[in-house]
A and B are shown apart, each in its own frame.
Chain A
Amino acid sequence: MGLVTETDENRDAVLAAHADHRAIAALTQHLPGAIQNAKYDRGELTLTIARESIIAACKTVQAAGYNFLVDVSGVDWYPNQPRFQISYHILSHSLKQRIRLAVRVGEGDPSVDSITGVWPAANFYEREVFDLFGVRFGGHPNMRRILLPEDFQGNPLRKDFPVEGYR
């Protein structure tokens, strides 16, 4: 289930098959080793980036022409580990192309660097992920809940949070 089952051969095959893809070319050139996983499915490219390299990866794809951050969101793969996936959807106006960068974050230290320095647009989205999943974004200028009240207990989009009834 999910991305965890994919192997290194899988990644290398996808990277080789799409070697002329602008994002893959830029990332393999400037950040070798940062791509942990690659998936090309239903016409969409997903690159799983090492957690500590996300800011560098964002800067690299931004320089490669992917100028617009569309969305940041989370997925909880509970009980798989690493538990959380943070998905960054990035669009290129000039190439008319989208890519998805993903970062896997473990349950013990659910945190990742904030990319608000690269795209200020990430501000609200990272707050939303923090609010609903409890993943912290290091270096975010205002890491507070955004949708739920300040005194709310828990993170509703985690899979161990019930849809209805009491916790």
Chain B
Amino acid sequence: MGNLLTAPIAVDSSEDRTMILNMGPQHPSTHGVLRLVLEIDGEVVVRVAPDIGFLHTGIEKTCEAKFYQQVVPLTDRIDYISPMHNNLCYCLAVEKLLQLEIPERAQWLRVMMSELTRLNSHLVWLGTHAMDIGALTVFLYCFREREQILRLFDDLAGQRMMTSYFRIGGVSLEPPLDFFGRLRAFLKTLPEKIDEYENLLTGNRIFINRTKGVGLLSREDAISLGVTGPPLRASGVDWDLRRDMPYSGYEKFQFKVPVSTDCDVWARYVLRVQEMRESIKIATQALDGLPEGPIKADAPKIVLPDREAMKTQMEALIHHFKIVTEGFAVPAGEVYQAIESSRGEMGYYVVSDGTAKPYRVHMRNPTFATLQAIEKMCVGRLIADVVAAIGSIDIVLGEIDR
């Protein structure tokens, strides 16, 4: 490893050739508040030291003071670009602790919404990444389609971004009547729109020159540095949790996992665009095959009753009161549940001591680990390539700092 990620870069560097450049925390291309301390020789990067924590809000500590069901809205706020992945991962972890079976319709809805979230997240990534590199138009196009997804979320859950749609035991609401029709129409038009973005970027010489051969990360480095998701697959590792360790019924869906051995920013771009096309396929399969049935598990002591039942049945009212005021006890134990989020492996490590509040919730967020690879990607390259490399790992500081 040499001197990677070691001691802080001192301003009075003994090497007179190099100088220190502060990039961020307010640099527009650092996607949030990331500070990179660059040691540069002319315009060539010699060392990179990421400085994070500007968005730290202590969510893990806050979780310990909440009931299990009250943690769900907190998880939205960790990665605000793909909130439903956080919801899903947390709910799956608690359901594993409870050994709770989820009805099939809820599982399929979860898959459908997860893929829609992935599309949403990749659209934001594509727009901002292209904008960082100088292709401004793509941003406007991507946000046009993202707006449609957010409106669908709004109709579904009553919130555009912080949906909290997945709950422990199922999903919160049955989708409104015209929802599936609108979703189908949207999914039908999306491939053409992706063609549009590709027309703007894939043959664009400036974009190719800015991305091909930039931000190289070898297969060995990717594995040893904990890189997951599209950057890992772009480095030639054929690994996708949706296919290899399926959760929430993903084993019932057919999709391809794009892999590349180019290891550069370009490969990560190509992979994510292909992933968007696969996500459309998965979401369409979920629409076509969506089973009928309940959307919440039959567990009255854990899942809140229907409004109707609560107002007409004594038992339902008691359960409602008890869940809201006392929460529900979760058997002692520890679980680690991982899902493939838009950025890579998202994992929730939940420890229960048998009470109604989680003893410990730890989020393993993908870009926290992937950020460690930034030095490997940038050393020996120009400062401008740092911007391309940051964009290519699809960094979200909310999930890094928590």
Contact = CB atoms under 8 A, between A and B. Distances in A.
Interface of A: 1-2, 41-42, 44, 46, 67-71, 73, 75-76, 87, 89, 93, 96, 98, 100, 116, 119-121, 123-125, 132, 141-142, 144-149, 156-157, 161, 163-164
Contacts of B347: 70-71, 89
- Most B CB within 10 A of own CB, among A1, A69, A70, A98: A70
B371 interface: yes
Interface in B300-354: 332-336, 338, 345, 347, 349, 351, 353-354
B368 A75 contact: no
Contacts of A98: 336, 338
10 contacts: A2-B353, A41-B333, A41-B334, A68-B226, A71-B364, A75-B360, A120-B225, A123-B5, A148-B53, A163-B64
A120 B97 contact: no
Nearest to B7: A142
Interface stretch (B112-120, B162-170, B237-245): B237-245
B94 to A, nearest CB: 12
Given A42-B99, A75-B351, A163-B65, A123 B336 contact: no
Contact of B96 (A42, A141, A145, A146): A42
B64 A87 contact: no
A116 to B, nearest CB: 8
A122 B60 CA distance: 19
A70 B401 contact: no
Contact of B364 (A44, A70, A75): A70
A87 B333 CA distance: 13
Contact of B6 (A69, A141, A156): A141
Interface of B: 1, 4-8, 52-53, 56, 58, 60-62, 64-65, 96-97, 99, 223-226, 237, 239, 244-245, 332-336, 338, 345, 347, 349, 351, 353-354, 359-360, 362, 364, 368-369, 371-372, 401-402
Given A68-B226, A141-B5, A147-B52, A89 B364 contact: yes
Contacts of A120: 1, 4-5, 224-225, 372
Contact of A73 (B333, B345, B349): B349
A157 B60 contact: yes
A142 B6 CA distance: 5
Nearest to B5: A123
B257 to A, nearest CB: 13
Contacts of B345: 70
Nearest to B361: A73
A96 B247 CA distance: 13
A163 B224 contact: no
A163 B244 contact: no
Contact of B226 (A41, A70, A148, A156): A70
Nearest to B1: A120
A145 B8 CA distance: 12
Contacts of A46: 334
A121 B60 contact: no
B52 A146 contact: yes
* Smallest CB-CB A-B distances: 6 pairs: A121-B226, A147-B53, A71-B364, A73-B362, A141-B6, A163-B65
Nearest to A43: B96
Contacts of A42: 96-97, 99, 333, 335
A76 B360 CA distance: 8
A32 to B, nearest CB: 26
Contacts of A116: 1
B56 A68 contact: no
A121 B99 contact: no
Contact of B362 (A71, A145, A148): A71
A89 B93 CA distance: 15
B336 A1 contact: no
A29 to B, nearest CB: 24
Given A121-B369, A142-B5, A163-B65, 9 more contacts: A71-B336, A75-B360, A96-B244, A124-B369, A132-B60, A147-B52, A148-B53, A156-B58, A163-B62
A68 B229 CA distance: 13
B364 A147 contact: no
A125 B334 CA distance: 19
A111 to B, nearest CB: 19
